Amino acid sequence: MGAHRARAGYEVGPPLDVPAPPAWPAGTLVLAKGAPDPRLVPVAELTRAYRRALARHGAALLGYGDPRGHVGLRRALAEMLSTTRGIPVGPDDVVVTRGSQMALDLVARALLRPGDVVAVEALGNRATWTALRLAGAELHPLPVDSAGLDVSALAELAARRRIRAVYLTPHHQFPTTAVMPATRRMQLLQLARSLKIAIIEDDYDHDFHYEGRPVLPLAARDEAGVVVYVGTLSKVLAPGLRIGFLLAPRSVLERVRTLRQVVDIQGDLAQESAVAELFEDGDLMRHVRRMRRVYRARRDALVDALRRHLGGVVDFHVPAGGMALWARVAPDVDMEAWAERGLRHGVAFVSGRYYDFHGGALQAMRLGFSPLEAAELDEAVRRMAAALPPARRPALGPQTAEVRARPRAPAPAVP
């Protein structure tokens, strides 16, 4: 039998702007992602929860079920959202998905039509931008500053174009970790209400806030029904478990339910029931509190390592929460060369160019601390420092984090 043909005998379409996940060499210390440490997953508790779920519900979990997700998990999520995030919802207001990326894809398909204008943060997640584009959206990047998305820029865009939706990460802006203050949140809600703009709020790491009380989501103050709220448990447990969820007005949820039924029929009911058991026993929230302590310590370890090994090269504000740190890099450093040399020294990181809407040069980078222990973080930064000297170039003058209109450039792959 011959090999399958490599080229299709028909038009396939243009390539998608989503880099393939990288395959880093064994032994590489990876700072290029902010993800949970799979070594810390409560495997014993999860195993017991699976057994209890199957013992209680048996074959009901192995057949067809509600495309909105297992009712037990929806009930547990609704209680958690009401008590910890100030969003008064019930189980019928929640749809469970296979991760937050699926939730965003379903929301995009439910809300958008070809040609709809969607405002996005000029620094952000390429996978989300692609999901919005595949739904037909025309994306317009807006500036991001120390308080998150610039709402005045959104108002200026709205004066020129009819905006269908705005996508943002207000709790810990991705990738800069900026927290949007209450005054700007209220301005955004008022603008969305007056202009009938849908707000897609991606609250991807709400549980990991270390300084003071976390700011309540936009959805907690939404009295006009303009917010679609997307969250995830993948950051709490492990990305491979793929559990996300979304809240929205009932008319939107009905469209999402229909789309889910067509695309995926339903989620993994046995897994969803097991996670509901973790909620019921209190194991999940105990794990969240433990991870909050662990990741805060790892944040502090990364901060200490950067100050000791790269104090004259990087500058940053210590993030109040999240799983990564946004660092500005001295203007005389060739970011791409440094990242390339870093791999040869056994450490993986990428330049800020990856997160820039236009793929333009940016003297910054996002360093994830959550997957690595303190000693690993220190060694990773030491390797970064070892890779640095030959990668420097003559100073090019003052640099700015302002995002300008630039031609699109290829970006490195990172999950």
- Flag whether pLDDT at 401 surpasses 50: no
Extract the tokens encoding 117: 């204008």
- Average pLDDT, stretch 134-158? 97
Domain boundaries, the chain: 29-42+286-391, 45-281
- Statement: residue 30 has pLDDT above 60: yes
Which residue type, as a one-letter code, is found at position 347? V
Q: Are 336 and 359 within 8 A, CB to CB?
A: no
φ/ψ of residue 355, rounded to 5: -95, -10
Whether the Cβ atoms of residue 171 and residue 215 lie closer than 8 Å to each other: yes
Q: Which of 60-69, 91-100, 395-404 has the lowest mean pLDDT?
A: 395-404
DSSP-derived secondary structure letter, 170: -
Distances (CA, A) of 230 to 23, 59, 262: 29, 30, 20
Report pLDDT for 391.
46
Q: Residue 361: what pLDDT?
A: 87
Instruction: Identify the band that residue 345 occupies on the pLDDT scale cut at 50, 70 and 90.
Output: very high
- End-to-end Cα separation, the chain, in angstroms: 36
- Give the pLDDT mean for 227-232: 96
- Answer with the residue of higher pLDDT: 242 or 404: 242
Whether the predicted pLDDT of 414 surpasses 70: no
Using the predicted structure, report yes or no on whether residue 403 has a pLDDT greater than 80: no
Of the candidates 19, 92, 101, 130, which has an alpha carbon nearest to the alpha carbon of residue 354?
19
Q: Is pLDDT at 28 greater than 50 in this prediction? A: yes
pLDDT for 389 equals 66
Q: DSSP state, 180?
A: P
pLDDT at 2: 53
pLDDT at residue 84 above 50? yes
Query: What's the rounded Cα separation, in Å, for the pair 301 and 307?
Result: 10
What pLDDT score was predicted for residue 343? 94
* pLDDT the model gives residue 383: 97
The CATH-assigned architecture of domain 29-42+286-391 is Alpha-Beta Complex (3.90)
For residue 406, pLDDT beyond 70:
no
Q: Are 29-42+286-391 and 45-281 the same fold in CATH? A: no
Q: Which of 3.40.640.10, 3.30.420.10, 3.40.50.1950, 3.30.450.20 would CATH assign to domain 45-281?
A: 3.40.640.10
Give tens-digit pLDDT for 277-290.
999 989 999 999 99
* Residues in CB range of 400: below 8 A, 6 or more apart: none
> What's the CA angle centered on 125, arms 123 and 129, to 5 degrees?
100
**Confidence check: pLDDT of 398 > 60:** no
1-15, 91-105, 374-388: range with lowest mean pLDDT: 1-15
Q: Give the 3-state secondary structure of 181-220.
A: CHHHHHHHHHHHHHHCCEEEEECCCCCCECCCCCCCCHHH
pLDDT, the chain, mean: 89
